[in-house]
Amino acid sequence: MYNIGIYLLYFIIFITAFFNSKAKQWINGRKNVFKKISEYDNEGKKTVWVHCSSLGEFEQGRPIIDKIKAQHSEYKIVISFFSPSGFEIRKNYKNADLVTYLPLDTAKNAKKFISLIKPDIVYFIKYEHWYHYLKTLFINKIPVFLVAANFRSDQLFFKPFGKWYRNVLRLYTKIYVQEESSVKLLEKFNINNVTISGDTRFDRVYENSLNAVEFPKVRAFKNNKFVIIAGSTWEQDENILIEYINKSNKDLKFIIAPHVISESNIKRIESQIKVSSIRYSVFEESDAPNYTVLIIDNIGMLSSLYQYGDIAYIGGGFNAGIHNTLEAVTFGLPVIFGPKYHKFREAIELLKQQLGFSISNYTDFESQADFLIEKPEVIFDINQKSKELIKSNSGATSKIISETIPI
C-alpha cells in the first residue's frame, strides 16, 4: 500500500508539472540525480546526512549543520531536499559538501542513495518519515535521528489504523522532540526512544540577533521613525496592511517583505499603496527618508531586517499557516499574525505571554497596531520579555550534537 502511494504521489506531481512550475522543478530536479550524487567524494572523511523537506525545515536544521561544520571538521555534510523551494534557494549552501534532491522513496533508490553517500550519522528534520530510507539505515545500523519533532493526537500515527506508521517511527535511533506533550503522546503507544531537546530555531534566531546583517539603506529609510515590518506576507495580509497604510495619519514607516516577489505581485502591491513607496532594488540611500513604504523585492534579507522594526506583522495566517515569528521576536518586536497559528507551539506561547497578538480582520489589526503605537511602555516590556524568551529557550543544538556526534 505504501509503495502504491509513493508511485501515485509521483504520478500526481508528474501530471501537475505540465501546468505548475514548482512541480516541474520537482520532476526536472530529479533527472540524473544519481549522476550528481555519484560524483560526491567523502575524501576519506565521515559523512553527516541531513534531510529537510523544504526551506523551513532547513532553517530548523541549519544550527546543527553549521555547528558540526564549525566544530567537527572530520565530517563532510550532505543535505537533501524533497521540495524545490528548499533546494533552489540553498543548493549552493556554503556549509554543505553536497546539496541534492532526495530521490523518490523506493527500496531501490534508498539503497542506491545510501550506498553512494555512505552516511555515518543521519538527521531527519521535523517532518517526513520516508520508510525505505529509514529501513535501509536501520538494517545497515546507521544511526538516524529525528530532530525538532512535534507530535499531535490528530496525526495519522495515532489513529486506530496507524500502527504501521507508528512502526516507522521505531526505525529512528532516537527522536528529539520540542516539548513534553510529544513525549507523553509517543509513550502512550510504547514509542520510548524519545527525548526533549527543545527547538533548534531558537538557537538560530538568537545567533542571528547577535550577528545581524546591517543594511545602511534601510537604516536611512527608518530615519528614527516608528516602523511596522510585515514579513512573508500573502495577498490577504497585504490587503489589511495596505488599507492601514492608506488610512493612517500617524508619522509611521512601513516595510513589506512579500512571500511572493514576482513582478506581477510587486506591481499589484505598488498599485494599491496611495502613499510614497519604493522597491529596495532601486532606491538610493540619499532618497530613503523621503518614502513611507519600502517594498523588499528579494529573498534573504528578512531575518536581519527586523532589527529596524518596532512592530512586526507575520504573514501566512490567512493561508496555510503563519511563517516564522521567532525571527522578529529575537529582536524584541511584538508580533501580530492571522488566525491560522494553532499548529505553531511558539505562536501559542507568544499569545499566552502577551508577546504576540492574533487578528481575524482589518479592524483587529488597526486596533492592535494603534494600541501598541500609543503605548511605548508596553512595547518596551514586550521587548525585554521577548529577548529573554529566546535566550532561555536556546541550547537545543548543543544538546543534540553532544548526544549524537561521537567524541
- What's the CATH code of the domain at 263? 3.40.50.2000
pLDDT digits (tens, 9 = 90+) for 28-83: 989 999 999 999 998 889 999 999 999 889 989 999 999 999 999 999 999 999 99
Cβ atoms of 49 and 116 closer than 8 Å:
no
Grid cell locating 377: 511602555
> Is residue 386 located within the same domain as residue 399?
no
Kindly write down the DSSP assignment for every residue of 74-132, as one continuous string. Answer: TEEEEEEESSHHHHHHHTT-TT-SEEEEPPPS-HHHHHHHHHHH--SEEEEESS---HH
Distance CA 327, CA 208 (A): 8
CA distance from start to end of the chain: 41
Assess whether 117 and 181 both reside in one domain: yes
Please, which residues bridge with residue 123 across strands? 50, 145
Clarify whether residues 194 and 294 are in a common domain: no
Whether residues 213 and 203 fall in one domain: no
Are 88 and 25 in contact by the 8 Å Cβ rule? The answer is: yes
Give the sheet arrangement for strand 356-358, strand by strand: 277-279, 293-295, 252-258, 226-233, 311-314, 335-337, 356-358
Q: How far apart are CA 270 and CA 37, in angstroms?
A: 44
Residues 197 and 217 in one domain: no
Residue 299: predicted pLDDT: 86
d(Cα 326, Cα 350) in Å, to the nearest integer? 10
What integer is the mean pLDDT of 349-359?
Answer: 98
Give 35-49 pLDDT, tens digit per residue. Answer: 999 999 988 899 999
Q: Which three cell numbers stand for residue 120?
A: 555515518
Using only C-alpha atoms, what is the Rg of the chain?
22
Write out 323-360 in H/E/C secondary structure.
CCCHHHHCCCCCEEECCCCCCCHHHHHHHHCCCEEECC
Whether 368 shows a pLDDT value over 90: the answer reads yes
pLDDT higher than threshold 90 for residue 192: yes
* Average pLDDT taken over every residue of the chain: 95
Tell whether the model's pLDDT for residue 400 goes beyond 90: yes
pLDDT in tens, 87-120: 999 999 999 999 999 999 999 999 999 999 999 9
**Residues 64, 155, 127, CA angle at the centre, nearest 5°?**
20
Concatenated DSSP letters of 199-242: -HHHHHHHHHHHSPPP-HHHHHHHTT-EEEEEEEE-HHHHHHHH
Are 58 and 203 in a shared domain? yes
Residue 388: per-residue pLDDT:
97
Do 214 and 352 share a domain, yes or no? yes
Same domain, 113 and 75: yes
Segment 364-381 mean pLDDT: 98
What pTM did the predictor assign?
A: 0.84
pLDDT band at 335 (very low <50, low <70, confident <90, very high): very high
Per-residue confidence (pLDDT) for residue 289, from 0 to 100: 87
pLDDT above 80: residue 17:
yes
Residue 407 has pLDDT above 80, yes or no: no
Residues 181 and 286 in one domain: no
User: Is residue 238 domain-shared with residue 366, that is, in the same domain?
Assistant: yes
Beta bridge partners of 100: 80
Confidence of residue 206 (pLDDT cuts 50, 70, 90): very high
My answer on whether 218 and 365 are in the same domain is yes
Give the domain CATH number at 90: 3.40.50.11720
pLDDT tens string 116-144: 999 999 999 998 899 999 999 999 999 99
| pLDDT score of 298 | 93
* Residue 221: all three cell numbers together: 529609510
C-beta separation of 53 from 126 below 8 A: yes
User: What is the four-CA torsion angle of 355, 356, 357, 358, rounded to 10 degrees?
Assistant: -150
* Residues 246, 295 within the same domain: yes
pLDDT of residue 85: 85
User: Which residue, among 155, 10, 150, 30, has the nearest Cα to 81 in the 3D structure?
Assistant: 30
Average pLDDT over residues 167-185: 96
Which of the four pLDDT bands, split at 50, 70 and 90, describes residue 288? confident
What would the grid cell of residue 35 be?
549522476
Q: How many domains does the chain have?
A: 2
Structural domain for 333, as ranges: 209-392
